[in-house]
Chain A
């Protein structure tokens, strides 16, 4: 299952995109309560979105972004646009999802 849930809606030529990504967003500063060891940093560093193959936004995230991050942005677009959101984290994991603007 994709880690990305997204919704997009067009109104007056502006598309509002809302997305939720499932990710632990570990800062690397927390300790395991049982062992006292540091939990290694594990967070999304970059999110990228394209509409019909054109770059819409590039987002850089640090560890301060909340667990299971929420994201919203707007762009000039239309109903039926092919919208892609992709992410990559500091451990090299990645995922992407494509949807159609309503």
Chain B
């Protein structure tokens, strides 16, 4: 970090202290972005790195909504919801992407376990939604066929 950036950052931080106290909390959370898990290139290793184990249980209570065929791999809509109780987090893994972990959603007692986003997929792959409820991880997997990849340039 050079001097200029340091000054800029410290000013930003000081500014947030005054303006929006809630940012201080967010700042802590930002530091928790799990770089290691996002860098892993193998699905099983990625799962272990997120949960500390890879004991997954397929469950019909996890609802994964994804297209069977995605014409454009750059925008694949994915929705995950569940009827399970005490959901701590929802993770979406795309097996054949360069890094399988695509995104993670950490819920609170206020959240309803239902999320949606749009992902990039390089090629046809299994998409797995994983829901952590209590000590267990429940999953639902679906194959999405990609006709035009979303990672090329």
Contact residues, A25-60 vs B (CB, 8 A): 25, 27, 29-33, 39, 45-46, 48, 50-51, 53-60
Return chain B residues, CB-CB under 8 Å to A75: 110-112
> Nearest Cβ distance between residue B7 and chain A, in whole angstroms?
14
Q: Mark B77-107, 1 if CB is under 8 A from A, else 0.
A: 1010000000000000010011101111111
> Nearest Cβ distance between residue B35 and chain A, in whole angstroms?
9
Chain A CB within 8 A of B24 CB: no
Q: Is the CB of A65 within 8 A of B107?
A: no
Contact residues, A43-83 vs B (CB, 8 A): 45-46, 48, 50-51, 53-67, 69-77
Size of chain A's interface in residues, with CB distance under 8 A? 43
Q: Mark A4-18, 1 if CB is under 8 A from B, else 0.
A: 000000000010000
Count class of interface residues, chain B: 35 or more
* A73 nearest in chain B by CB position: B115
Q: Is the CB of A70 within 8 A of B117?
A: yes
Q: Is the CB of B153 within 8 A of A30?
A: yes
Q: Is the CB of A84 within 8 A of B22?
A: yes
Stretch at the interface among B26-34, B53-61, B128-136: B26-34
* A88 nearest in chain B by CB position: B30
Within 8 Å by CB of B106, from A57, A84, A88, lies: A57
Contact A60-B106, Cβ < 8 Å, known A29-B98, A66-B74, A73-B114: yes
Docked complex Cα distance between A75 and B105 (Å): 13
Q: Is the CB of A74 within 8 A of B9?
A: no
Docked complex Cα distance between A45 and B108 (Å): 19
* A60 nearest in chain B by CB position: B104
Chain B CB within 8 A of A86 CB: yes
Within 8 Å by CB of B103, from A29, A59, A72, lies: A59
Q: Is the CB of A45 within 8 A of B33?
A: yes
Return chain A residues, CB-CB under 8 Å to B111: 56-57, 73-76
Chosen A-B contacts, 30 in total, with CB atoms closer than 8 Å, are A27-B151, A29-B151, A30-B152, A48-B26, A53-B22, A54-B108, A54-B110, A56-B108, A56-B110, A57-B105, A57-B108, A59-B104, A59-B106, A60-B33, A60-B104, A61-B102, A62-B38, A62-B103, A64-B94, A64-B99, A64-B121, A66-B74, A66-B76, A66-B118, A70-B77, A71-B117, A73-B112, A74-B112, A76-B110, A76-B112
